[in-house]
Amino acid sequence: MAFSFLNPFKSQKVPSSTALISEIDFKGGTKYGENSSNAVYLDIEELGGFPFIKTIIIGDFSTKIKRIGCTLTFVFENDSLVLSSDNTDVESNQIKNTLAYYSEIDFELTEEEATKIRNEKVLEIQYTFKDKILAFNPISK
């Protein structure tokens, strides 16, 4: 009977976050936009009669922010709309056995803002985390 100590210590290939994004079939939201290494899932939902935006970023982006939250900017052709995160603490979690992370962030929203996002053409969305801006191009529907 042969026994080898090499197999248990053999390095396993971990997929990159970019490769992982194309393979993900995330059922928890609607894929709204992407950039070179991240995808954003975005849905306008309602809780207690008040609208809010539920977003999830999946990819190589990782952050941990305490007490200041972040903003989400919708860039339209002649205007923009800036929303503040519902929670002031934002933290990314690593997806098990990968190099990718997911960040769940909700944003407060009025009925007028929800209507504008649904009806006007969005050219770009931008998350602002402290001094870092993460931009996404919307996926054509």
- pLDDT at residue 27 in the model: 79
In sequence order, which residues have a C-beta less than 8 Å from that of residue 43 and are 6 or more positions away?
29, 30, 53, 54
Q: What is the pLDDT along the chain (141 residues), one digit of tens a residue?
A: 454 555 555 555 555 556 666 677 677 889 999 999 999 999 999 988 889 999 999 999 999 999 999 999 999 999 999 999 999 999 999 988 888 999 999 999 999 999 999 999 999 999 999 889 999 999 975
**CA distance between the termini of the chain:** 60
- pLDDT at residue 111 in the model: 94
Instruction: Output the CATH code of domain 28-138.
Output: 2.60.40
* Phi and psi angles of residue 113, each rounded to the nearest 5 degrees, phi first: -65, -40
Q: How far is CA 108 from CA 52, 71, 96, in A?
A: 5, 10, 30
